[in-house]
Structure 1
Amino acid sequence: MASIVDRPKKTGGITYQVKWREDGAWQTENFGDDDSAMTFKGLVEAHGNKWPYGWVRGQGFVEQPAVPGDMPLTKWLHRYVDRLTGIDERTREDYRREIDVHLSLLVHQEVTQPEPVPATICNLTQDDVTAWVVVEEKGERDPDDPEKWARRPADPKSIRNRHGILYCGVQAAVESSPPLRTANCCTKTRLPRADNHTDEEMCFLERDEYVRIAQEIKDPGARALADFLVGTGMRWGEASALRVRDLNLTGARPAANVQRAWKKRAKSGTGPAFYLGPPKTKKARRLVALSPAQVKMLRRLTTGQPPEAFVFRTAWGNHWRHSNFYHRKWLPAVQEAIDKGLPKRPRIHDLRHTHVAWLIAQRIPLPAIQIRLGHESIQTTVDRYGHLVDELDADIVAAVDAVMIAPARSAPASLHAV
């Protein structure tokens, strides 16, 4: 038989504790009022002095999942991300933040139910995902103040990235053993176009525009790094991580060997904010061919330096930090050039985009550019820079004409009309 024990609280009031023995061990559950305790006592006794089916200690009756193994969507996505291999902790931390801030807003709406219910990995539908994308794209106004945002509109690229996490997490449920789902509800989601905006995401500089900025960089070491970035198309984290031993300046094919890059440490980690790790992708490990002018500049920077020394260094001999270069060298130079008439405001990463634009203007094919940039897929190169190939339209038309209007060979006599 169960009993009820009154337990006075230090802060005042009374807790009503239902107490009984189950399989030789004492079990207890606490309530704030006597009526609830009496009701629960009756349930325990009706179940043969055992916990009532579906009751969770401290929570009450919790609906059991319709599918064994079902769980809240965010819990499943965290489980999926925590088990990912081959990613650094900073990336894992970014995925967790996207889940907690954005994917946690997903809900499940039954057609027959007036109110949505929390999304689980098993009840999520294509309609639920589509509804979430719509709100991500359009945003949501504060019901108490229509002038304010309760949820700001997200840019198309961010929506695609978040949907990618969701897609992979749901696919993991499809492929789990035993499967929690029969199909991936994210497969047919129509996502906003990544170019569905009016501001140009990438900034391309003409040669004279870059020169106008470079002339305002008075520090020779900083100017050398900027020239190298625009001349090789390397990412900042790759170029600034180069060591003397990574350069081959004496062979028949001078090149820089990209084997590492600066990575941002996860906030939960210890040590410096940045550390040296592998490049962004497997194909980012590459040899980047160097021009004679670049070889000359690199020899000047590395003469007398030990193999482990960084190629690009500040006046104090330290490697360049992005924030230091950006705020003290790049921004002032760009602003000075703008004050003198430059019509663009490029970022440091736009030197990489500019490098590609220059190569395309010189008729370098996209597959060769893909290799030079270290893109994992040619699709990435095409998606980002394919529109620049429009400048080759005149060459394409000329090539077609050269084939189509070439003098036709004389037809065989057997085919001549009688």
Structure 2
Amino acid sequence: MASIVKRPKKSGDVTYQVKWRQDGEWQTENFGDPDAADQFRRLVEAHGNQWPHGWVRGQGFVEEPAVPGDIPLLEYATRYVDRLTGIDDRTREDYHREVRIHFTLLRHTTPAGEDATATIGNLTQEDVTDWVRAEETGERDPHDAEKWLRRPADPKSIRNRHGLLFCVVQAAIEATTPLRTTNCCKRTSLPRVDDHTDEEMTFLERDEYERIAQEITDPDARDLADWLVGTGMRWSEATALRVSDLALTAERPSVNIQRAWKKAKKGSPGGAFYLGPPKTKKARRLLRLAPAQVELARRHSTGRRPDDFVFRAAMGGAWRHANYYNRKWLPAVAAAVEKGLPKRPRLHDLRHTHVAWLIAARIPLPAIQIRLGHESIQTTVDRYGHLVQGLDDDIASAVEAIMGVPAPRAGLHAVRTA
């Protein structure tokens, strides 16, 4: 603990000396004002009985020298996004929105505790931590505690924004003329994604799904729901299927997933959505079809042209998520709930339900990863690993069976063969 020693001078003035031990040696700093001495004492204690960062003995806090060529963080981040390659216009627009809305919350705190504009050169680990905390807590309306000026961000969004910031800072390190030497995002403690996302997923039992499906009175809409829950395909993939993607042979009937609907950049002349590659490289996949899906696919493809969509809305075009969700899915769920269904699944929960059914049938996670088109097995494990608990009894029985058979002993084996 630091202490203050009052030291009178022959001139009649008084010096207030802050004194503490650091690494076994006495450290001191003198002040002519007791309040300033007390403030410094608390700073020392807050830093674990160490000299406060940025404090120079006898001078106080000294502002960090400006980095040559340093520019505001928002400007540098915008340039970084502009120069990214290998992304579509929609993704670039999303990145710009993150910079424009969320990077503005990043501020730099000087060693003296003053607030300053964040630049690519002055940003610190503490600044990044303060930003993550601000994203987590949100901001209440000071005039109405029930309202939000800025709602708390979910853990996944925070991690995505932090990942973008990490890349921006890393680019400044690897630039031809470096603006930094270290990445201040490396040791950030981020919120756990599974604190919120897992509880949002809804898994339906077979009879629960049937209760909803029975309320979908449009046969084409019912078939699309059956396809989604029977294949585990994403909505954007299933509604982008063309007749030419189907291979309904007797031996190995399958569907080739090569495209998906993408959200277009605002103001694009082609409309709000366009056809592009699936979500990831591994999302391009060949999906084996069960007999029920084969029969369903034949109903929707017989007599159609190769470039026709397999699933079509009333006017013959592709289904749009908002129309299907609001006019077909939500009314069916509401009707089922009114009749006693205890769950309110989203449309995407049909994909989760498909996985739950596969796991219940003892299908291993690596096979499920391939079927879903997940880029990494870790994604599959993180989202659905907790459902594999049903295999615990099988695992225990297998271990018991192995351990229950005594291993042969070398000595006895030698005697018997002698």
Common topology (TM > 0.5): yes
Distance 1:144 1:337, change over 3 A: closer
Question: SS at the partner of 1:287?
Answer: strand
Q: Over residues 339-374 of structure 1, what are the superposed CA-to-partner deviations in whole Å (9 max), with x where a residue is unaligned?
A: 011111111111111111111111111111111111
- Residue of structure 1 equivalent to 2:13: none
Distance 1:147 1:313, change over 3 A: closer
- Structure-2 separation of matches of 1:414 and 1:222: 68
Question: SS at the partner of 2:195?
Answer: coil
Q: Which amino acid aligns with 2:387?
A: L
- Residue of structure 2 equivalent to 1:214: 213
| Native 8 Å contact 1:229 1:236 kept in 2 | yes
> What are the ranges of 5 or more consecutive residues in structure 2 without an aligned counterpart?
1-62
Question: SS at the partner of 1:257?
Answer: strand
| Native 8 Å contact 1:106 1:129 kept in 2 | yes
Q: Say yes or no: does 1:355 pair with 2:362.
A: no
1:225-240 map, 5 Å? 225-240=224-239
- Structure-2 separation of matches of 1:278 and 1:166: 26
Q: Over residues 152-182 of structure 1, what are the superposed CA-to-partner deviations in whole Å (9 max), with x where a residue is unaligned?
A: 2211111111111111111111222222211
Shift of 1:146: 4.6
Cα RMSD of the aligned pairs, angstroms, is 2.1
- Structure-1 separation of matches of 2:315 and 2:268: 28
Q: Which amino acid aligns with 2:186?
A: T
Q: Say yes or no: does 1:262 pair with 2:261.
A: yes
1:249-328 map, 5 Å? 249-250=248-249, 252-328=251-327
- Structure-2 separation of matches of 1:118 and 1:383: 38
> What are the ranges of 5 or more consecutive residues in structure 1 without an aligned counterpart?
1-62
| Native 8 Å contact 2:125 2:187 kept in 1 | yes
Shift of 1:209: 0.6
- Residue of structure 1 equivalent to 2:118: 119
- Residue of structure 1 equivalent to 2:334: 335
Q: Over residues 23-79 of structure 1, what are the superposed CA-to-partner deviations in whole Å (9 max), with x where a residue is unaligned?
A: xxxxxxxxxxxxxxxxxxxxxxxxxxxxxxxxxxxxxxxx99822332111111111
Q: Percent identity?
A: 70
Q: Over residues 373-402 of structure 1, what are the superposed CA-to-partner deviations in whole Å (9 max), with x where a residue is unaligned?
A: 111111111111111111211111112212
- Structure-2 separation of matches of 1:321 and 1:283: 24
- Structure-1 separation of matches of 2:384 and 2:212: 23
- Structure-2 separation of matches of 1:158 and 1:357: 25
Q: Which amino acid aligns with 2:66?
A: A
| Native 8 Å contact 2:155 2:191 kept in 1 | yes
- Residue of structure 1 equivalent to 2:151: 152
Distance 1:115 1:415, change over 3 A: farther
Shift of 1:315: 3.2
Q: Over residues 111-157 of structure 1, what are the superposed CA-to-partner deviations in whole Å (9 max), with x where a residue is unaligned?
A: 2x232111111111111111111121122334455554333221111
Distance 1:97 1:399, change over 3 A: same
Q: Which amino acid aligns with 1:201?
A: E
- Residue of structure 2 equivalent to 1:247: 246
- Structure-2 separation of matches of 1:360 and 1:204: 12
- Structure-2 separation of matches of 1:64 and 1:302: 69
Distance 1:139 1:332, change over 3 A: same
Shift of 1:316: 2.9
Question: SS at the partner of 1:342?
Answer: coil
> Under a length normalisation based on structure 1, what TM-score does the superposition of the two structures give?
0.80
- Structure-1 separation of matches of 2:126 and 2:347: 41
- Residue of structure 2 equivalent to 1:3: none
Q: Which amino acid aligns with 1:238?
A: E
Q: Over residues 80-113 of structure 1, what are the superposed CA-to-partner deviations in whole Å (9 max), with x where a residue is unaligned?
A: 11112222211211111111111111011122x2
Distance 1:65 1:296, change over 3 A: farther
Q: Say yes or no: does 1:79 pair with 2:79.
A: yes
- Residue of structure 1 equivalent to 2:105: 105
- Structure-2 separation of matches of 1:249 and 1:229: 18
Distance 1:178 1:403, change over 3 A: farther
Q: Over residues 191-222 of structure 1, what are the superposed CA-to-partner deviations in whole Å (9 max), with x where a residue is unaligned?
A: 11112249822111111111110111111111
- Structure-2 separation of matches of 1:69 and 1:299: 64
User: After alignment, is 170-179 or 259-268 more displaced?
Assistant: 170-179
Distance 1:115 1:141, change over 3 A: farther
- Residue of structure 2 equivalent to 1:398: 397
- Structure-1 separation of matches of 2:172 and 2:325: 43
User: After alignment, is 138-147 or 153-162 more displaced?
Assistant: 138-147
Q: How many residues align?
A: 353
- Structure-1 separation of matches of 2:197 and 2:266: 34
Question: SS at the partner of 1:120?
Answer: coil
| Native 8 Å contact 1:65 1:71 kept in 2 | no
Q: Which amino acid aligns with 1:91?
A: T
- Structure-2 separation of matches of 1:65 and 1:269: 45
Q: Which amino acid aligns with 1:189?
A: T
| Native 8 Å contact 1:236 1:349 kept in 2 | yes
| Native 8 Å contact 1:126 1:185 kept in 2 | yes
Question: SS at the partner of 2:97?
Answer: helix
Distance 1:122 1:394, change over 3 A: same
Q: Say yes or no: does 1:224 pair with 2:230.
A: no
Q: Which amino acid aligns with 1:376?
A: E
Q: Which amino acid aligns with 1:204?
A: F
